[in-house]
Amino acid sequence: MVCLGNICRSPLAEGILQSKLPNDKFFVDSAGTSGFHNGNPPDTRSIEVAKKNGLNISNQTSRLFKGYDFELFDHIFVMDQSNYNAVIRQAQNDKDIEKVKLILNFSGSKIKEVPDPYYGGEKGFEHVYKMLDTACKYHSERLKNNL
Ligand code: 4NP
């Protein structure tokens, strides 16, 4: 799961997807394309909205997305087009590029990007949570079916 800061959207996406997959078969992680918040925990607003929905994401730590992540992960979900461009820049080949998908790019979703809630209020975080929950329901079913 990749966003810009790895403190708002992708930590939520990591927690949500992890909660929908068997943990002995899948490893879910998140990273940011900026490194602005390296080493920091998620934004308190993300921690709060996750908690409200029964998820604890407070132990996560922000880290930078690296080219090596293409070797570690089979699927890379990005939150918006700008994240997509930053991740693709580090791809080595077509196989790497095929791993990268906008998380909202599935049939049934009218919106294609998860909006950055960083400069907004609580409402933005709840909106983002709902979007990610719907997307993760879809992706977790597909991932489980491809086991
Ligand atoms: P995120 O949100 O990419 O969803 O983690 C942001 C967090 C921090 C900043 C921008 C977006 N920032 O500019 O510091």
74-128 residue pLDDT tens: 999 999 999 999 999 999 999 999 999 999 998 788 889 999 999 988 889 999 9
Amino acid letter for position 4: L
Q: Which atom of ligand 1 is nearest to the CA of 9?
A: 4
pTM value is: 0.97
Nearest CA to 117 out of 125, 107, 106, 109 is that of: 125
pLDDT > 90? residue 58: yes
Active site residues: 3, 9, 116
Strands ordered across the beta sheet of 76-78: 31-32, 2-3, 76-78, 100-102
Atom 7 of ligand 1: nearest residue by CA position = 5
**Residues flanking ligand 1, CB < 6 Å:** 3-9, 36, 116, 118
Query: Among the atoms of ligand 1, which is closest to the Cα of residue 6?
Result: 5
Residue spans of beta strands (DSSP E) within the chain: 2-3, 31-32, 76-78, 100-102
- Give the C-alpha separation, 18 to 56, whole Å: 11
